[in-house]
Each structure stands twice: as structure tokens, then as C-alpha cells.
Amino acid sequence: MKRFFSILLVAAALLAMAACGAKKEESSGGDLYDQIKEKGVVTIGTEGTYAPFTFHDKSGKLTGFDVEVAEEVFKRLDIKTKFVETKWDGMIAGLDAKRYDMVANQVAIRPERLEKYDMSEPYIVSKAVLIVREDNNEIQSLADLKGKKVGQSLDSNYRKIAEENGASNTVVEGFNQSIDLIAAGRVDATINDSLSFLDLKKQRPELPIKSVYEEKDATENAFLFRKDSGKLKTEVDKALADMKKDGTYLKISEKWFGTDVSK
């Protein structure tokens, strides 16, 4: 009889553990957007070193065009934003590892990215420019990069463009480092965003650099999500559309660039 009751107690304990585990699994599952709404906070991966999109102002506060757009999007969704700063080369890997829910950092929309990730509707359009030292007259176009050294982030779309045109790459952590290497004569050129270049020249006019080429076709950039983002992309797209419709997006765009950068 004692053995019988012992078996019953063990069985009851196992059932309780299974039920507890199922309940825990159920609470941790569900749509990512619903989980974020329940917590009231969305985590966003960003560089924090890429002016004027995501950087720290003189007071040390994280700010920039991408930061403000993301903050406004989630303000409309009644969700607080928590930015997780990380280097660009590890940013997408951090998204894969679920260190944050999404990325806001001038991520270009590319076919190969769309195969693995979800991306929002584009919120900014820009063109790539080729940047060299002020006294460099050898490089005038992408074709002139053959045999030259460039400074690009490892996972950058611009690195691929440079290497496709025959350049060898020195891996950098971000735009500012590539510019410093050009100024020091350690690399010949870098390709980057035209808006970022204009902002850099405004902030640091003493830099001995110049733009020698601008691509004809503009690149669309968007927020990046994992494929398991569920309703998150849909809700973000709705908020972006509303911002453009009511003029809020234009106000943010003109604050940072003096024009509408969505076109």
C-alpha cells in the first residue's frame, strides 16, 4: 500500500512539473509584438557613433535622426524605447541572438537581407558617396578603386561595392574611423552615406577630405526585424505611415537635414 501511495505521489509531482513547464512555455511564447506590449518596452540595437543618424550629443545623450524616428514610432504605440548600443559589425548577429527586438541604424534594404529578415517600409532614402583625401586626384570614380585601400565595416554594403571594384578593405568599426584613416593616409578612400558625409563636413570642417563621386541610384533604408517579429513590423509600418501623413516625419527630417529625406 505504501508503495502504491508513493507511486501516486511521484506521478502527481511529475504532472505538476509538466503543467508548470507548459504554463511557463505558454507565457514565453506568443507574438513578439504582444510580448513587447505586455512589457511596455522595445529594445533597439544601434551604433550610437554614426552621426547624424545615431550618436551622442555634447551632453552625452543618445540622439540622431534614426533615434528620433524610432522614438516617435513607439510613442504612438504606447511603448517605451530602450536602445542597446553595439558595433555595426556585430549588430545583426546581436539581433539573431535576440539581444534586442529590432535594429535602427541605416540598414539598407537588400534582397539577400529580405530572405532572412523582415524590414519595415523605408523611412529614409540616401545615396552613397566616394570619399578621399583632399589632395588625392587619382581617384575620381568607383573604377579608380582598383588596387587601392578602403576603410569599410565588415558587414557593410559599401564594402561589397568597393571590393567589387577591385579595392582591398581595411576593416573599421565605423564611419569616423574610416575618415581618420583617410586623413592619416593609411587608406585611400571610403564609401559611405552622402547625408553622413555632409553632416561630418559641417561638424568638422577642418578635415582634409572631399567627395569625388555620388551614385545615381538612391538606397532605401529601413528598420530590421527577425522573421519571428510577427505584428511588430506591421505596427511599425502603420506608425511610420501616420507620421508621414500628419507631418511629424517631415518635421524630424527638416530638423536634421533641412529637407524631406523620404524621397
Here the CATH number for the domain that contains residue 151 is 3.40.190.10
* Domains of the chain: total: 2
Q: Is residue 22 part of a domain?
A: no
In whole angstroms, what is the distance from residue 259 CA to residue 185 CA? 34
Assess whether 38 and 116 both reside in one domain: yes
Asked if the structure places residue 229 within a domain, the reply is yes
pLDDT recorded at residue 29: 53
Which pLDDT score, from 0 to 100, does residue 21 have? Answer: 46
The cell numbers describing 7, all together, are 507511486
Instruction: Give the model confidence (pLDDT) of 142-201 as tens digits.
Output: 999 999 999 999 888 899 999 999 999 999 988 999 999 999 999 999 999 999 898 888
Write down the mean pLDDT value for the chain. 90
Q: Give the pLDDT confidence score for residue 25 in this predicted structure.
A: 36
Among the listed residues 23, 4, 26, the one whose alpha carbon sits nearest the alpha carbon of residue 15: 23
Distance CA 101, CA 201 (A): 33
pLDDT computed for residue 168 by the predictor:
97
Q: Is residue 95 part of a domain?
A: yes
Q: Note whether 108 and 154 are same-domain residues.
A: no
Where in the sequence is the domain holding 120, given as residue range(s)?
A: 32-125+220-257
Are 194 and 247 found together in one domain? no
Tell me, yes or no, whether 102 and 228 share the same domain.
yes
**Any bridge partners for residue 80, and if so which?**
41
228 vs 27, higher pLDDT: 228
Its pTM stands at 0.78
Q: Distance between CA 229 and CA 226 in Å, rounded?
A: 6
What DSSP element (H or E) covers 171?
strand 168-171
Q: What is the pLDDT, as a whole number, of residue 230?
A: 85
Same domain, 205 and 245: no
Is 50 exceeded by the pLDDT of residue 14?
A: no
> Is 263 part of any domain?
no
132 inside domain:
yes
CA distance 28 to 32: 10
Q: Are residues 203 and 226 in the same domain?
A: no
State whether 134 and 245 are in the same domain: no
